Amino acid sequence: MKLQFHTQFVRISLVVLQLINPSLQWPEPEYSSAPIPAPWPEQFHALLYMNLSSTHLQITNLWYDWPRGRNVNIIQKQLSVLLYDTEWNNGTTFYYTLSEPHSCRIMVNDVGIPRPDFLDGAEYLGTAVTDGYLCNVWEKIDTIWYYEDVYTKRPVRWDFNDGISTHVITFDVGAVLLDDSVTQAPAYCFNQEIKNM
């Protein structure tokens, strides 16, 4: 009885507060059941349309492969070179071309590739229509805004805080990059300094 009275009192207080300040909301009753993003499949291929800013576009073939500890981005920048970005789970990333003009950059980080559950703990923001799809939207540590199709649970779009907006054109769960030759960093990658990301 006492508890009930207390609950009643809290509710009344909230109503009063809401009257004073209408932007105060009821505590979200089903907050704990807010949708959570589907983890990334352990292996997939996605064709990505990326808008890096108002002036740069690129098409990326993303081959995510958690069991192989490998995340390969084959990047076609608009009217420019085809760039291979091979990220390994040990923290080494190689950026290189496989044809002229030859270039290679090696970066190291201490994080490795994204884990399939890298969106765990993201904050649910609600639904929005993007690229014509009704999506659940999450934000994680002011870094990524992630849009997932409400019905199919496939990623539709994600935006990074650096202004890069990625739109998922195809999403093939289970697809694996079979041509290992393109993930082998070319000879001209070696004997050069390594940069920390």
Ligand X SMILES: *[C@@H]1O[C@H](CO)[C@@H](O)[C@H](O)[C@H]1NC(C)=O
Return residues touching ligand X (CB under 6 A).
51, 54, 57, 88, 90, 92
CB of residue 32 to ligand X, shortest distance in Å = 34
Give the number of C-alpha atoms closer than 13 A to the C-alpha of residue 38, restricted to the C-beta side. Answer: 16
Tell me how far, at minimum, the Cβ of 113 lies from ligand X, in Å: 11
Q: Which is nearer to ligand X, 13 or 80 (CB)?
A: 80
Nearer to ligand X, 28 or 131 (CB): 131
Q: How far is the CB of 53 from ligand X (least distance, A)?
A: 7
Choice between 51 and 97, CB closer to ligand X:
51
- 144: Cβ–Cβ under 8 A, 6 or more apart, which residues? 119, 122, 158, 159, 160, 161
Strand 92-96, strand 82-88: pairing: antiparallel
Smallest CA-to-CA distance from 161 within 143, 185, 181 is with: 143
- Nearest approach in angstroms of CB 150 to ligand X is 23
Closest CB to ligand X among residues 10, 111? 111
**3-class state of residue 41 by DSSP:** coil
Q: What are phi and psi of 46, to 5 degrees?
A: -135, 140
